[in-house]
Chains A and B, each alone.
Chain A
Amino acid sequence: MSKMADYEGPILEIDRLSISFFTRLREIPAVMDFSVRVMPGEAVGLVGESGCGKSTVALGVMQDLGKNGKVVGGSIKFKGRDLSEMSEEELRDVRGNEIAMIYQEPMASLNPAMKIGKQLMEVPMIHEGVSKEEAYSRALEVVTDVRLPDPERMLNSYPHQLSGGQQQRIVIAMALMSKPALLILDEPTTALDVTVEAAVVELVKDLGKKYGTSMLFISHNLGLVLETCDRLCVMYSGEAVERGSIEDVFDDMQHPYTQALFRSIPLPGADKNARPLVAIPGNFPLPHERPPGCNFGPRCDYFEEGRCDAQDIPMVNVHGFERHSTRCLKSEEIDWNAPITVGEQKEKAPIGEVVLKMDNLKKYYEVAANALFGGGETKVVKANETLSFEAHESETLAIVGESGCGKSTFAKVLMGLETATEGKILLDGGEIQDTAIQARDTKTVADVQMVFQNPFDTLNPSMTVGRQIMRALEIFGIGENEAGRRKRMLELLDLVKLPRAFADRMPRQLSGGQKQRVGIARAFAGGARIVVADEPVSALDVSVQAAVTDLLMEIQREEKTTLLFISHDLSIVRYLSDRVMVMYLGHVVEMGTTDQVFSPPYHPYTEALLSAVPIADTSVEKEHIVLEGDIPSAMNPPPGCPFQTRCRWKSEVPGGLCEKEVPPVRMLEGEHQVKCHLADDILARMTPVIKIAAE
């Protein structure tokens, strides 16, 4: 089967597309009046929060809306042909052959029972009917192109034998097998770690250039879109609200939502006092409860009654720009360069006494090689290696690292779900490292609490919100009776700024951000003094992230809480933390105040992490560091320095010391400590990774 004839003009042209889903109760419009054009070789980003309809657009292009979904208006033209007029056979030809799609979860796109090579070879064999040999050589070529080591071994392995990053590269390779004209990437890196994400993004960018493929890049991350795309389309609640080139939209935004979105994300280059986060007030409207007129109206600072909610707002071109349009009636009246009105700045509570002290904490797991009969040799997984630090009252200590670095194990040991192998944890001077949670007294348990990552998992779905908070109060022995606890529960809801009516709601009736607030209220039920926040905002939408972050900091100010903030997002870490601890494979590789960690000299891993974070600011210049390979398994760590397999500075250390010895902890100026063999003069030579270009 051959490709469609070459076509001059846009590869993909979506014109006033409307898509609805039909449930038993009502029609739910998911996408309304959406238009976008993708020219040959162009990469267009589709940005928006979850539920804004960006994935629905992608499914619409694939004509795969399920039996509930229907295109109710407009057209999708691919190379000039309307996809809705194609027959099933023609569509099958187009999918995979002309349009390829890459999904968020790589494992879900690969057949676990089939070898990689066979899966790749299928694509040209089905679509083009080429011979087995040719298909194999093509597969080999593509796998080499996606920069996987040892391509022949890769082709001969099953998906589960590869790491997440390698799997996603294979998915990309599969999508490129048929040299499609259009590649749709639906959050392709969300499930990956930052350093791996950076490598995959770079790969996608290069391949796009090499193959001349047009791309539709769907993401919630503005920074990623900035790095990958030429043009950008911002969506809100089913509509495109602003469309234009990356530079136009980032630097001369013309829609209040775009502006609000930018103001709600922290930029690692910016100072938190000069540029505070501004959360978007209110909540994302449900698809069947959209307001009349402008969908963003109720949350917009520039809302004008009787005008913005009077009629449907059309998409209009912005004067003075080429191909830049916005869905705002007031775009020409608003002064887009007006400075952010900074709200009342509250003084941070002074940092107090040491509350928590970790001394040489180690946590090893023994894994039996043969689980069934318990025989064979046992392997030791060193999840935490000599962890030492102090945390003070009212301090935010950020723990940064990618998956497998041991931060969750550390949290477990601190909470008492596991006991330490060696070393000490001192809470107010008392040792708690060997006391499991059942053996701890109520006060200790109530003092150390946790806020969890996944808002959809953190609350028990079959209990009302109020009941769950009251249960925590009950366990912590707060309140004389039911009435007393109910009163306290309502106060806690006030504390996290939720309406009191939510007490009787079920968790499914709450949005992600609201659930996370309930989780915070529950953690503070017993007056917690140390709160471990395990990526509390990473699963939330950007506009909600700012609000939840602010809430956490505000509670911290009032309650003088010690916050251990576990995250991989360096932007937010820089925004809220006092001190930062960077972990890699169970080791603390760098620790110091935020300013010390974010400026040179860096540990080589910190340097790479900083470089990997996508930053949504066109004025920021980053040094480009891409780490090779994946994080080694904690079961089988490399000898010597844990980071030596991926370190770009390794050659600067004489005598192969990195491969032989674990580096000692070195004290630099202040309390800044680094675990690295690099000599002082080399550390001093390091330059800042993030530079802000002079305006």
Chain B
Amino acid sequence: MEPLTWTGSFGSIIDPVFQLVGLLFIVAVAAQFIGAYVFAPINDEVHVDGTITRDRGANAIIGTAVRSLLLALCALAAIYIVAGVFAPIGKVGIIGAVAKQFAPVWIALVATFLLSISYKRRLGLYGKLFDSTVGMIGYALLMFWVYTALFVGVFDMIAVNDPLTQLSGMKNKLPGTPLRSVEEGQYAYYLLGGDNLARDVFSRMVHGSVVVILIAPLATLFAFMVGITLGLPAGYLGGKLDTFLSFLANLVLAFPVILLFYLLVTPEIVATGIPNYMAMILFVFPIIFFAVLLNSRFYTRPHLRNPLLAGVMLVMIWTYLCAISAEGTVINILPPTLDLFDIDSGILVVFVSVVFVNSPTVFRIVRGLVLDIHTRDYVAAAQTRGEGKWYIMLWEMLPNARGPLIVDFCLRIGYTTILLGTLGFFGLGLESESPNWGNTINDGRKLLAIYPHPALVPALSLLSLVLGLNLLADGLREESLRD
């Protein structure tokens, strides 16, 4: 079989057009940059009847040109994707074939956007996100990877080969190389080439997304639980508690992160069970958080509080015990019949380290926000009607600190993603053959000069996901400040 080219036979018609439009776009952007200095600025004139005329200077024309060229570029890119999805494999080359594999993701994305945009006025802050172009781009990038992880992890779609299988003769092969011998039901190509152990780069990339999308938000969520549960009393009660907790936070922040990771994953340290004990402590915080949250709100209504609290606590404590207890580790308290799941020890170490280094920062943000909100009259009003401390912290203050916290949450998932990549890159935590992006980048690094594709593909994936999260955070921040 012939190896696939990037755009296949379809590309021979459309590629030149794409290149021409791209070139024009670059020229137009340059012209816009220079024009801003040379020509007169654009003026809007408002008339008495409420209409606005924008004058037609040189800058206005260049601006229109840039916009329409950008639109044309996007349209052309969309044509590649649509053609790829519908044409047979090979007609639109590698791009087409990859687009075809991602078909469920496209459908899910389009559906999400159509639904969200049509109901955006009723969706609060989430709806306002669709008023900001930057936010929409960020959200699209994020959801692309979320849907990819979902379809790969749950439905086993998208990926074409097993991420761990090595096929003979595919070592370091370029993108689009066909398999030597295609068996029944096997995909005929390594779409994005093979790595130095002859594994499918494309499949490893999409499988890697599952690890990131699973761990990053969850670890960030846990870091927030720890940070909020400690930051609220530190800010609100102050005094010795605040001094002590802030000092602790500074201590953790002052320790070099990478060194900390190296220490945590050293086999000797793992053998002592320190990561398990840390998990034991860190995983308690969500339980404390929800117990206090519900109790402070509903203690005046025991009939509602008692069953509610009992139910929630039962589920949470059981989950907690399942999570910390695993056979073969220092903590093995739950009998195997009750232990529903075990967390892989490598993932546990990564998880614990990420939560551990992120929570002091969250702690400080929450503490600062609480110090600010502390002076509001509604807090004083709650105090004068004799509310408990935790009710004031969790129900009066926390909801009003949500804006900055949501933005920080998005940014922090980005940091966590990078942190996971870094950990993988240093081979910390997860097994070396795991398809996560950090590991694959490290694997590909060795032959980067000769075969860049095994490292480039996961690197670009990591970039796009973190970029998406940062843009989303920007969009959210901007939209939450408006109106």
Which of A's residues lie within 8 Å of B, judged by CB?
Answer: 18, 20, 23-24, 27, 70-73, 415-417, 437-438, 440, 442, 445-446, 448-450, 452-454, 457-463, 472, 474-477, 519, 522, 526
Contacts and interface: CB of A to CB of B under 8 A. Distances in A.
A477 B380 CA distance: 20
A450 B381 contact: yes
7 contacts: A72-B50, A417-B380, A448-B384, A458-B378, A475-B300, A475-B386, A526-B385
Given A20-B46, A417-B383, 16 more contacts: A23-B483, A72-B48, A72-B50, A415-B383, A415-B384, A442-B386, A448-B384, A452-B377, A458-B378, A460-B378, A460-B400, A462-B400, A463-B395, A476-B385, A519-B381, A522-B381
Contacts of B395: 463
A374 to B, nearest CB: 11
Residue among A18, A437, A475 with the highest chain B CB neighbour number at 10 A: A475
A463 B482 CA distance: 20
Interface string B374-416: 0011101101111100000001100110100000000000000
A70 B402 CA distance: 33
Contacts, number: 73
A437 B386 contact: yes
B156 interface: no
A457 B376 contact: yes
Interface of B: 44, 46-48, 50, 131, 300-301, 376-378, 380-381, 383-387, 395-396, 399-400, 402, 482-483
A316 to B, nearest CB: 21
Contacts of B483: 23
A463 B399 contact: yes
Given A445-B386, A474-B301, A475-B300, A454 B377 contact: yes
A452 B380 CA distance: 9
A476 B386 CA distance: 9
Contacts of B376: 457
Nearest to A444: B386
B48 A458 contact: no
A18 B48 CA distance: 9
B335 to A, nearest CB: 42
B50 A27 contact: yes
Contacts of A460: 378, 396, 399-400
A70 B378 contact: no
A532 to B, nearest CB: 9
B377 A437 contact: no
A445 B387 CA distance: 10
A453 B46 CA distance: 41
Contacts of B402: 462
A519 B300 CA distance: 22
Contacts of B378: 457-461
Nearest to A437: B386
A172 B79 CA distance: 64
A475 B378 CA distance: 15
A73 B381 contact: no
B46 A71 contact: yes
Contact of B399 (A27, A462, A474): A462
A445 B48 CA distance: 59
Given A71-B46, A463-B399, A475-B300, A458 B377 contact: yes
A522 B381 CA distance: 9
Contacts of A450: 380-381, 384
B73 to A, nearest CB: 26
A457 B377 contact: yes
Contacts of B48: 18, 72-73
A438 B381 contact: no
A584 to B, nearest CB: 24
Q: Among A72, A442, A463, find the residue whose CB has the most chain B CB atoms closer than 10 A.
A: A72
A526 B381 CA distance: 13
A659 B362 CA distance: 54
B39 to A, nearest CB: 16
Nearest to A482: B301
B300 A477 contact: yes
Nearest to A70: B46
A417 B384 contact: yes
Given A23-B483, A452-B380, A454-B377, A475 B399 contact: no
Contacts of A437: 383-384, 386
Contacts of A462: 399-400, 402
